[in-house]
Structure 1
Amino acid sequence: MTIRFGVPADVSRALEIWRDATDATHDFLTPEHRIEIDAMVAGWLPEAELWLALDESEHTVGFLAMDGDMIDALFVDPAFHGRGYGTKLVNHALTLAPNALVDANEQASNALPFYESLGFVRTGGSATDSQGRPYPLVYLAYAGKR
């Protein structure tokens, strides 16, 4: 398992991972919002600072997008969930930003337990996502291993 910086040629695989992981973990999204968010992500990923998690065959199985101290996105191919790729990506994020922050969808049942198990604590939240859609967010900050 390795982490490497993403290049423009990696964006299509990152988008594929985002779509598969979102479909597997974000069943609360309305079909209309899913399409709307997909278009936003497809436009944003080429500009994002991407870090990729690669399996033993050098196949991209997850990605992390950072913006300063903020973990903007962390997604792992659902076929590879539970194998440590997400943890490896977060640990990499913490080398880049020791005071990392992340916003997690409250309705994504896997997100909060995952981040909290890695030492993130809740610092607040909002009733909507950043575009005002009805998807509550929980704000988290890294507080160290528990």
Structure 2
Amino acid sequence: MSATPITLRATLGSAEYPTLTAIWQSAVEATHSFLTPADIEFYRERIENVYLDAVTLTVAEADGVPLGFSGIAEGSLEMLFVHADARGTGIGGALLTAALTEYPTLVTDVNEQNPDALGFYLTHGFEVAGRSELDGDGRPFPLLHLRRATPGTATP
């Protein structure tokens, strides 16, 4: 798959939400072992019916098949998910690079209990700028607030 070019495009709109939700669920089930099936169902409903409408979406595809997506609102990367079968193929990096091109001072949050995601962002020049005990829905899943590292400083 890594030899297949990655294409980034705007979403096709709400008709594409079931596909994006399936990508989200695949990614979450592969990386968010701290969530119960009930937690995943709670967030799945919110992703498809609330969160996707609240962001500007970019879809990453290979051979015309959507494999990942990102969502940005007001200079904040609110979501970036890659289908579990496409992890490590450069899709996440392509989505993040595109977001940073448009928003050089991009910020994002990552679940503290998702070390792979934290490592991804640290590798791409982010640093931890703060922490919250609760997620944006007030649930007990701590978030790390990330920002682009200032040039010349080390990341943790």
When normalised by structure 2's length, the TM-score is: 0.87
Does the 8 A contact of 2:131 with 2:143 survive in 1?
A: yes
Give the deviation of 1:80 after TM superposition.
Answer: 0.6
Which whole-Å deviations, capped at 9, do the CAs of 1:83-102 have from their partners, x for residues lacking one?
11000000000112110000
The answer to whether 1:53 aligns with 2:76 is no
Structure 1: gaps (5+ residues): none
Distance in 2, Cα, partners of 1:140 & 1:47: 20
Q: CA deviation at 1:144?
A: 6.4
Q: What percent identity do the matched residue pairs reach?
A: 34
The answer (yes or no) to whether the contact 1:68–1:97 under 8 Å persists in 2 is: no
Q: Pick from 129, 139, 149: which aligns with 1:143? A: 149
Match of 2:45 among 39, 49, 61: 39
Query: CA separation in 2, counterparts of 1:65 and 1:111?
Result: 16
Give the equivalent residue in structure 1 for 2:8: 3
**Per the alignment, in what secondary structure is the counterpart of residue 146 of structure 2?**
strand
Unmatched tracts of structure 2, length 5 or more: 1-5
Aligned length: 145
Whole-Å separation in 1 of the counterparts to 2:150 and 2:66: 28
Q: Output the aligned Cα RMSD.
A: 1.5
Are 1:92 and 2:128 counterparts? no
Deviates more, 1:7-16 or 1:69-78: 7-16
Alignment of 1:46-125 (within 5 A): 46-55=53-62, 57-125=63-131
| Mean Cα deviation higher: 23-32 or 118-127 | 23-32
